[in-house]
């Protein structure tokens, strides 16, 4: 099977590309150049691609040309402007990339000879913020107050409209929670911030320590995506799907940081409150993934503490040995987990 991944140079895209390659699939990618310090570069992900195009998804003509050259069996759309704080700095670009870029990707799939399925990745933040304790269902209202959330909600709605009007093959939309794991070096994300601080013997600052999020290891999230693709190919059914941890695995930011600090071996105060003005964000964000669990048979293979342990291990062992080996080893260990 030939997979095309947009955003293949990013955090999720790099993990997914390597998983698919290790499973024997052909993999192509379309994305911007990776950051100099990135999982893509550290784990030598570039070696796995049949085609590797560096194209801005806002460039409709170049995007369509690349899709025609690749002619994939499956498209996974991950490319995005993924940072909430940056969306305040570049709001228009965020909407252009996340909303119009998604439509450009969908339009580029039309008339591909071998295409069998499309998976559009949005986010848990597409749901209109109501601080629901029960967790958001796929049928709940979409919305967004900050530019990032609003742009992804708009992308989700635009994709749903495109699917109803133009899709001739199954198309699904996947919404996942706060994904963590080795290889994330993004700014203004809790795990990379902790790694940078602890590696430099500094104390990290937390802007919203009481916020509750659906933390999940990147491999559990990607495993859900791949199970959904298999389901699409077998049943020809699309729709919207949540992928988040069980309610028993929901923790606040300060609980995550305290546990991660202990696993890391941090002896100093694990964090301090960031008193600088912060961007608005919801205090409670949970997903109800009953649909994925019951229909797909998907579930997390790694619990919260194991997720943090594997994440810590990736950063520490990668620095001591090499990042490619630890990345491949964690994929092998994950796939060998008993369900």
Q: Is the pLDDT of residue 258 over 80?
A: yes
pLDDT of residue 154 exceeding 80: yes
Over 60: is that where the pLDDT of 339 sits? no
Question: Does residue 277 carry a pLDDT above 80?
Answer: no
Region 125-137 average pLDDT: 90
Cα-only R_g, the chain: 19
Q: How far is CA 14 from the centre of its chain?
A: 10
pLDDT, residue 249, reads 85
How far is Cα 212 from Cα 190, in angstroms, rounded to an integer?
Answer: 13
pLDDT band at 207 (very low <50, low <70, confident <90, very high): confident
Least confident of 6-10, 186-190, 243-247: 186-190
- The per-residue pLDDT of the chain, averaged, comes to 93
Structure tokens at 159: 């994709």
Residue 250: what pLDDT? 87
- Is 116 exposed, middle or buried, given 0-12, 13-18 or 19+ CB atoms closer than 10 A? middle
Alpha-carbon distance values, 213 to 47, 76, 125, 237 (Å): 34, 25, 11, 29
pLDDT higher at 95 or 204: 95
pLDDT digits (tens, 9 = 90+) for 63-111: 999 999 999 999 999 999 998 889 999 999 999 999 999 999 999 999 8
Count CB-CB contacts under 10 A for residue 77.
28
Mean pLDDT of 9-30: 98
Could you tell me the pTM of the whole model? 0.96
Q: Is the pLDDT of residue 338 over 70?
A: no
Where do the domains of the chain lie, and which CATH numbers do they carry?
Answer: 2-180+214-248+280-305 (3.40.50.720)
* Contact by Cβ (8 Å): 266, 252: no
Residue 326: pLDDT band (50, 70, 90) is very high
Q: Long-range contact list for 84-89, CB < 8 A, 24+ apart? A: 84/125, 84/146, 84/148, 84/149, 84/188, 84/279, 84/281, 85/188, 85/279, 86/148, 86/188, 87/146, 87/147, 87/148, 87/151, 88/146, 88/147, 88/279
More confident of the two residues 261 and 277: 261
Q: What percent of the chain has pLDDT over 90?
A: 80
Residue 39 banded pLDDT, cuts 50, 70, 90:
very high
pLDDT of amino acid 187: 84
Compute the distance between CA of residue 243 and CA of residue 225 in angstroms, rounded to an integer.
8
pLDDT at res. 276: 67
Neighbours of 296 (CB within 10 A): 16
DSSP assignment of 123-159 equals -GGGB-----SS-B-TTSPB--SSHHHHHHHHHHHHH
- Tell me if 51 sits within 8 A of 8, measured CB to CB: no
Cα 311 from Cα 322, distance rounded (Å): 15
Residue 298 has a pLDDT of 97
Q: Hey, what are 264's tokens?
A: 């890391």
Per-residue DSSP letters for 40-54? Answer: HHHTTGGGGEEEEEE
Whether the Cβ atoms of residue 14 and residue 183 lie closer than 8 Å to each other: yes
CA 60 – CA 103 distance, rounded (Å): 9
Residue 302 pLDDT > 80: yes
């Amino acid at each position: 099977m030939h997979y095309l991944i947009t955003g293949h140079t990013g955090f999720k895209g790099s993990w997914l590309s390597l998983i698919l390659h290790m499973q024997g699939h052909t993999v192509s990618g379309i994305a911007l150049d990776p950051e100099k310090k990135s999982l893509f570069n550290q784990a030598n992900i570039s070696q796995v691609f049949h085609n590797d195009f560096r194209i801005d998804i806002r460039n409709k003509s170049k995007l369509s040309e690349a899709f025609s050259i690749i002619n994939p069996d499956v498209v996974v759309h991950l490319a995005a402007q993924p940072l909430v704080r940056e969306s305040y700095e570049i709001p228009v670009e965020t909407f252009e990339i996340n909303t119009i870029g998604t439509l450009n990707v969908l339009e580029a799939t039309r008339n591909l000879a071998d295409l069998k399925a499309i998976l559009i990745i949005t986010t848990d933040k597409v749901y209109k913020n109501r601080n629901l304790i029960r967790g958001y269902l796929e049928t709940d209202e979409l919305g967004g107050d900050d530019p990032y959330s609003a742009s992804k909600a708009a992308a989700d709605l635009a994709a749903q409209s495109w699917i109803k009007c133009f899709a001739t093959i199954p198309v699904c939309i996947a919404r996942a929670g706060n994904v963590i794991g080795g290889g994330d070096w993004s700014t203004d994300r809790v795990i990379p911030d902790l790694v940078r601080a602890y590696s430099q013997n500094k104390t990290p600052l937390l802007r919203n320590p009481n916020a509750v999020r659906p933390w999940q290891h990147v491999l559990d999230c990607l495993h859900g995506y791949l199970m959904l693709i298999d389901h699409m190919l077998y049943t020809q059914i699309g729709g919207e799907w949540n992928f988040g941890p069980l309610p028993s695995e929901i923790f606040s930011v300060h609980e995550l940081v305290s546990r991660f600090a202990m696993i890391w071996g941090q002896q100093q105060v694990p964090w301090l409150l960031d008193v600088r003005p912060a961007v608005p964000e919801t205090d409670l964000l949970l997903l109800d993934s009953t649909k994925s669990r019951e229909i797909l048979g998907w579930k997390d293979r790694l619990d919260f503490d194991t997720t943090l342990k594997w994440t810590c291990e990736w950063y520490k062992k990668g620095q001591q040995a090499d990042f490619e080996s630890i990345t491949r080893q964690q994929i092998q260990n994950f796939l060998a987990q008993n369900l």
